[in-house]
Structure 1
Amino acid sequence: MHSPQPISNENVIRLWHNFRMGDECSYTSLMEIFTNPMFRYGSRFADSDDFVKDCIQDVFFELWNRRERIRQAECVKAYLFKALRMRIFREKSKWKLTEVLEENYKFIIEFDVEVNIIQQELSEEICLKLKKILESLPKRQKEILYLRFYEGMTQEKIAEVMNINRQSVYNLLHESILCLRKYWLKSPVYYCL
């Protein structure tokens, strides 16, 4: 599937409004714009691509069926990420009934930023060091770094997606960055021969 051209938030808000009014073309455009970012985000929680795709499809199906009762979103991306996150947790809980939903979830870390960094400037040894440090962070810190730096979300939108308050987002983000700095200074540099 091809990647759609970047679209302004103003245009996305207009599409969202039109979709809520029953415009199928706007609905289709929203799916085209957000399916890939939602898949990248959702695949951080689940091993199965098919499971994530099913959850995305369920989110969009439910949106269409409830379009008249859905509120106007200030940030459509955050709204959809939150809906997907909740859907994944809800569906996973049906399979793993003993798992605590909010605290025992998996968040896979594979930032595409690493690939870009390699391609742009940094050597492989620094990239390996960064990957090892990121993998050592707790899952919530990984998720918050992903949403902030990969998806470019504000603290308010991260709070909405993760269903936590803004101060918690600030604290987790601050803690994550301090951990990165601490581990970066402690971690040995790897030399690739």
Structure 2
Amino acid sequence: MNHLQHFTDENALWTAIREGQTGAFKVLYEAYADVLYRYGLRYFREEETVKDCMHDLFVDLHRYHRNLSPSVNIRFYLLGAFRRKLHEVRKKSMSLHLGAYADPAFMIEYDTEHHIMAGEQQKETLRRLSAALQLLPARQKEVLYLRYNTELSYEEVAEIMKISIATCRTLAYRAFQQLREQLKSVPVYYLVICLFNCLF
């Protein structure tokens, strides 16, 4: 469903957001809630925590709408702002329970229900890929997720994660090489297709 149909394009929607139009915030939420929710679940298993972070993000957007940049890639902006919210909550949680703050884990799990229509061979490849993904460092998993699932450019992924573009590309390259090593029998083109499916 195209939630942006009431606006000519994303620029028109963002202009309405900056003007504080209530209807625009509803459209923005409906268009990007699923993307943000799935991303949040990579940081927290508790659905309520993810929903609370989403709520806080949209409250801040409304509260500070006059200060927003006039032109942005909305998906990129929301994912970056949401990631900061997730890190703030994780940092508070870690300091309360464990003391020192460490980089949060980034969870990727194979969803059998989502792939129920896949053939047995594809399911087996996806299961093997999911297992291989679990062995990757958190930052490599997050780069792959943002690159393949949210379709951001390397430049955008790097900015969201606060790393250089070169580091971002290196993390993606090393992750892909490790996955290829774990799944030697899977053709590269098919591995890429499965990667898109597994990171849904």
Smaller-chain TM-score bracket = 0.7 to 0.9
Q: Deviations over 1:7-53 (max 9, x none)?
A: 59971222011110121111111111111110000110012100010
Distance 1:13 1:112, change over 3 A: farther
Q: Deviations over 1:140-182 (max 9, x none)?
A: 1111111111111111111122121211111111111111111
Distance 1:183 1:7, change over 3 A: farther
Q: CA deviation at 1:72?
A: 2.7
1:83 corresponds to which of 78, 81, 84: 81
Could you say which residue in structure 1 is the equivalent of 2:108? 109
Contact 2:140 2:171 in 1 (8 A): yes
Contact 1:18 1:26 in 2 (8 A): yes
Could you say which residue in structure 2 is the equivalent of 1:69? 67
The sequence identity of aligned pairs, in percent, is 27
Q: Deviations over 1:41-86 (max 9, x none)?
A: 0110012100010000000000100000111343111111111111
The range that moved more, 6-15 or 46-55, is: 6-15
Q: Does 1:57 align with 2:58?
A: no
SS of match in other structure, 1:5: coil
Q: Does 1:37 align with 2:35?
A: yes
Distance 1:20 1:159, change over 3 A: same
Could you say which residue in structure 1 is the equivalent of 2:147? 148
Distance 1:164 1:12 in 2: 27
Structure 2 length normalisation: TM-score? Answer: 0.81
SS of match in other structure, 2:66: coil
SS of match in other structure, 2:65: coil
Pairwise CA RMSD of aligned residues? Answer: 2.5
Distance 1:174 1:119 in 2: 30
Distance 1:16 1:179, change over 3 A: same
Distance 1:80 1:161 in 2: 10
Q: CA deviation at 1:115?
A: 4.1
SS of match in other structure, 1:185: coil
Could you say which residue in structure 1 is the equivalent of 2:101? 100
Distance 1:122 1:142, change over 3 A: farther
Which AA in structure 2 matches 1:107?
Answer: F
Distance 1:139 1:122, change over 3 A: farther
Contact 2:94 2:100 in 1 (8 A): yes
Instruction: Show structure 2 runs of 5+ residues with no match.
Output: 187-200
Aligned length: 181
Contact 2:4 2:13 in 1 (8 A): no
Could you say which residue in structure 1 is the equivalent of 2:165? 166
Q: CA deviation at 1:113?
A: 10
Instruction: Show structure 1 runs of 5+ residues with no match.
Output: 188-193
Structure 1 length normalisation: TM-score? Answer: 0.83
